[in-house]
Amino acid sequence: MKEKVLFICLIVLMLAGCSYSPVPQLNKNKNTEKNLSKEESQESMKTFLLIGVDSRGEEDSRADAVILARYFPEQQKLKLASIMRDSYVKIPGYKYGYNKINAAYYYGGSELLKKIIQENFDVKVDHVAVIDFKGFVKMVDLLAPDGVMVDVNQEIIDDMSIEASTGKNVLHGEEILKYVRFRHDDESDFGRVERQQEVLVQLKTGFINQISSFEGMVALPSIIEKGMSYLDTDIGMKTIMEMGSQVVFQSPDSVETLRIPVEGSYKDEIYPQSGAVLKMDYSKNKEALQEFFSR
């Protein structure tokens, strides 16, 4: 049986979008200046759903990486919240009522995933980006052509047949995919989520560094055009181009991460239709996600 794989759904092109703020810049020299209220700032921010699917082009696939991203322009802070693939959630229209969140993409694609996140966690998704294994490998090499520095141990090297030595290594597309797929240790999917977020942040940085020169800015349209061919998204090319041009000037100074379910808010259960799941305390996790995205 094919191993279910959780990998990073990264599109730093989407993170460029998270760095794009539609809030008008206020002229600080005018006496009429007024600060935006917290509510107005929240309304202006967009939430991006990044979905990684466990396929190399096949039609039937599951969402093994589910990441919510939101940028806070005033604090120049990016927030990433990963929802564990085995999270047991209510699925609208599903005959059993509940199943793992990674099954939702198989049943109803990104639109169903958006509904699930809205109904289970009260988070409205504004835009979606989906990427599969092939696209991920190409995207890594596009956005970080010099590779990504990661720390690998012998267990990961042996299990995933990674060509590396223990300790810090610079890895490229296929090897990075193996690195973020690894799950056969005591940390299981929890460690894999940490590696997702780790590499996602590094790819964001690599992308920003790549386009932070005159030559990089000139190359930006072609980078975006290539990147768009690797993913399925509801954002048009024109909007992506506008977003990409902003990332150099509004790139986040810091990145904060969260994992759902949060510590102490779930227990392991087994259900006939789902297998092993993480049964969550919904009120605790909804509250944690709401608090994370509100400050």
In a domain, 5, yes or no: no
Question: Distance (Å, rounded) from C-alpha 59 to C-alpha 186?
Answer: 32
pLDDT band for position 259 (cuts 50, 70, 90): very high
Q: Is residue 1 part of a domain?
A: no
For 26-40, 69-83, 99-113, 175-189, which range has the lowest pLDDT when averaged over its residues? 26-40
Rounded to an integer, the average pLDDT of 217-230 is 80
Contacts by 110-116 with C-beta closer than 8 Å and gap 24+? 110/49, 110/51, 110/232, 110/234, 113/49, 113/51, 113/63, 113/66, 114/49, 116/89, 116/90, 116/91, 116/92
* pLDDT band at residue 156 using 50, 70 and 90 as cut-offs: very high
Residue 124 lies in a domain: yes
Classify residue 2: in a domain, yes or no.
no
pLDDT of residue 240: 61
pTM here? 0.77
In a domain, 30, yes or no: no
Q: What is the distance between the alpha carbons of residues 186 and 184, in angstroms, rounded to a whole number?
A: 7
Does position 276 have pLDDT exceeding 80, yes or no? yes
47/17 Cα distance (integer angstroms) = 10
Tokens of 10: 């990264």
As for how many domains the chain has, the answer is 1
- 16/181: higher pLDDT: 181
Higher pLDDT, 97 or 76: 97
The residue range of the domain holding 236 is 12-22+37-294
Is 97 among the domain residues?
yes
Where residue 199 sits, what CATH number does that domain have?
A: 3.40.630.190
**Residue 232, strand partner residues:** 130
Q: Kindly state whether residue 122 falls inside one of the protein's structural domains.
A: yes
**Residue range 21-43: mean pLDDT, rounded:** 43
Mean pLDDT of all residues in 84-89: 94
Answer whether residue 171 is part of any domain. Answer: yes
